[in-house]
Chains A and B, each alone.
Chain A
Amino acid sequence: QSVLTQPPSASGTPGQRVTISCSGSRSNIGSNYVYWYQQVPGMAPKVLMYRNDERPSGVPDRFSASKSDTSASLAISGLRSEDEADYFCAAWDDGLSVWMFGGGTKLTVL
């Protein structure tokens, strides 16, 4: 059972803006950076956002993220068909000394 809680699914039409939430606790999101990963079927996850809201080079600025207290969110604007993938949040947990992952959100572009 994942300690970081994400909605199992999200959807939108091309051009729309969608957000994916990630809820944790004081010992993980509340104390540490949040990372977001994108995974397409059959491939390893790829880092999408780091240190709460920073984008690696090569990630379009349509992707943005934020963190507040013990929750975080990922936003995708100008939705495109290639954004269809699974999205995971992650944060280090100081209490358990482990990396925590969210259960993942499957994004469907309608």
Chain B
Amino acid sequence: QVQLQQSGPGLVKPSQTLSLTCVISGDSVSSDRAAWNWIRQSPSRGLEWLGRTWYKSKWSYDYAVSVKSRITVTPDTSKNQFSLHLSSVTPDDSAVYYCAREDVGYGNNQFAFWGQGTLVTVSS
């Protein structure tokens, strides 16, 4: 059974960088059957997909246009985890952030496993 455990600060100051980590158990960040995603949820934006990384001979990345200039998703094979870094945050970035495993390779790209969610507030 795949489990995703999130960690990171719940309060970030405006203009700083939001950083969250998602530790994977029961699977590998280098699996060719998965993509590793970050999704956030807020009352104003609903569920918003932010970006993902996956490995198939090399690491690849997709990012949402809305945050493309500010986001980095970073895999760490030594710790079997992946991280989200979102720079220059504003109060509008306040949300519950989720990491999620996306099944790939079988024509079924469901988000089958999710982290527990981290409420991040951007405030001075």
Contacts and interface: CB of A to CB of B under 8 A. Distances in A.
A51 B107 contact: yes
B41 to A, nearest CB: 8
Given A35-B111, A44-B117, A101 B47 contact: yes
Majority secondary structure of chain B interface residues (helix, strand, loop or mixed): strand
A45 interface: yes
A98 interface: yes
Contacts of B65: 96, 98
Given A44-B98, A44-B117, A101 B49 contact: yes
B27 interface: no
A2 interface: yes
Nearest to B62: A97
Contacts of A102: 46
A18 interface: no
A19 B46 CA distance: 20
Contacts of B39: 99
A47 B112 contact: yes
A46 B113 CA distance: 8
Contact of B62 (A33, A35, A46, A98): A98
B48 interface: yes
